[in-house]
Amino acid sequence: MKKIRIGLVGCGGMGIRHLIGLGELTQTPFCNVELGGVCDLRRENAEQAADKAEQLFGVRPPVCTTLEELAKLDLQAVDVVVDPSVHHTIVCQALESGLHVLVEKPMAITVSKCRLMMEAARKNDRLLSVAENYRRDPSARLVNHLLQQQVIGNPYLAYYHSLGGGSGIYITPWRHLKERGGLLLDMGIHLADLIRYQLGDIDEVYGAAWLAAPIRRTDETEIQATAEDCSMAMLRMKSGVMVNWMMGRGGLASCGGQLIAGRSGTLTSFGTRGGKVGLRLGAGGETGHEQILEETTGFELEPLAEHLFPQRLSTRDADAKLIALELHELGEAVLQGRALEVDGEEGLKDVAAIYAILESSLANEAVKMADVESGQVCAYQNEIDSALSTDSTGINT
């Protein structure tokens, strides 16, 4: 099978996960991507990634510490897995070098930087794909199929709650800093994408956000958080569906749950990585995921997904398989002209959805999504944009 050669840019924890995802793809008959090099500002990170690649693929890839070095290799694309605050810098440089790009979510940390990336892709006639994996899980695909088949009738309301308390440092300190994008963007982007995937585009947002845990600690570290860590919002979809949003990680409050309500039934999930779906029709009891699969007709996954998830079920360790799907899609797009599912426009809309909540909170009024997406409403983001220099560099995460 014909393959594209791809370079990994960013060799931290998430970069290693992408290598494992490529390893998953390599073990299938559908493999259309091969590794051509690894790159990280920290040579020790790049060397460790090369060690992992040699373990996975039996060949040690070239090691680079600059994108200029990497671009000199025989590559068609790069997989950018770096600090989100420099996504726009690295991606635009790669596109200017003639490389197609797969970039981790969030696409960028402001809407204006998303637009910068889209313009670079257009100008250089290159593909720009955003690695948003939750919607690729079989559970999300099943929810989408059920909604398309109107199994629960026309949806009219929904909620998506993912609120956890605490004051610990969530994964890495930068996630608590506004100038690096903040926790709500880094985590909430998954929720925003699933809501849009299942229910269509958002029309208007009325939201509020708070910093509930300003001091974040581990046993060794204490930092002053600057980014909000809790949010609530009402999202009016263009279809008229109202969605209640509650998301965050901070303070004492904690709750979770998902529901899509239609005129004749409800779904208990939007889908998620390793998730399952529940269905209730009328006043009847709930049907579980396995039974839904048995009773649903016409539900199919794409060929690679069918290979990776033969039971059309996933588990909590599905991460590598979902990354494999993202990489495979880019390969097909380059080699066969396949349309990208989450392209720059989709990636921008997901970023704008989070900022609509933050912009609404700052303005203390509802905002139209079109105004946030166009950059007309950007008061909250102005401080972040001013902190992002045009020559920012950094290719480790």
Handedness of CA 158, 340, 316, 177 (dihedral sign): negative
- CA angle, corner 274, sides to 271 and 277, nearest 5? 40
Query: Which two structure tokens, joined as six digits, stand for 78?
Result: 């790069």
Q: What angle, 0 to 180 degrees and rounded to 10, lies between the N-to-C axes of helices 344-363 and 182-199?
A: 120
Show which of 277, 294, 314 is a domain's final residue: 314
For residue 223, list its beta bridge partners: 216
Indicate if 198 and 212 belong to the same structural domain: yes
Shared-domain flag, residues 229 and 129: no
Q: Residue 171 has what pLDDT? A: 85
Q: How many domains does the chain contain in total?
A: 2
Is 260 a domain residue? yes
Query: Could you tell me the pTM of the whole model?
Result: 0.96
Helix 379-387 and helix 344-363, axial crossing angle in degrees, nearest 10: 120
Q: State whether 59 and 198 are in the same domain.
A: no
Same domain membership, residue 210 and residue 114: no
**397, 325, 334: which is closest to 101 by C-alpha?**
334
Q: What is the layout of strands, in order, in the sheet containing 77-80?
A: 63-64, 33-39, 4-9, 77-80, 100-104, 128-131
241 and 272 together in one domain: yes
Domain closes at, from 297, 314, 331: 314
**51-89: pLDDT as tens digits:** 999 999 999 999 999 999 999 999 999 999 999 999 999
In a domain, 234, yes or no: yes
- What pLDDT does 393 receive? 45
Say which CATH number the domain at 287 has: 3.30.360.10
Residues of the chain with pLDDT under 70: 389-397
pLDDT of residue 389: 66
- Residue that terminates a domain, selected from 272, 294, 314: 314
Beta strand 230-237 with 242-249: parallel, antiparallel or unpaired? antiparallel
Same domain, residue pair 113 and 164: no
**CA distance linking residue 84 with residue 178, whole number of Å:** 12
Together in a domain, 195 and 222: yes
Give the alpha-carbon dihedral of 267, 273, 274, 275, to 10 degrees: -10
Q: What is the token pair recorded at 25?
A: 């793809």
The residue range of the domain holding 297 is: 136-314
Are 243 and 256 members of one domain?
yes
The verdict on 148 and 225 lying in the same domain is yes
Pair 304, 160 in one domain: yes
Q: How many other CB atoms are there within 10 angstroms of residue 12's CB atom?
A: 19
Q: Which of 338, 292, 310, 244 is nearest to 147 (CA)?
A: 292
Domain match, 142 and 265 both: yes
Q: What tens digit of pLDDT does each residue of 3-39 get?
A: 999 999 999 999 999 999 999 999 999 999 999 999 9
Residues 79 and 174 in one domain: no
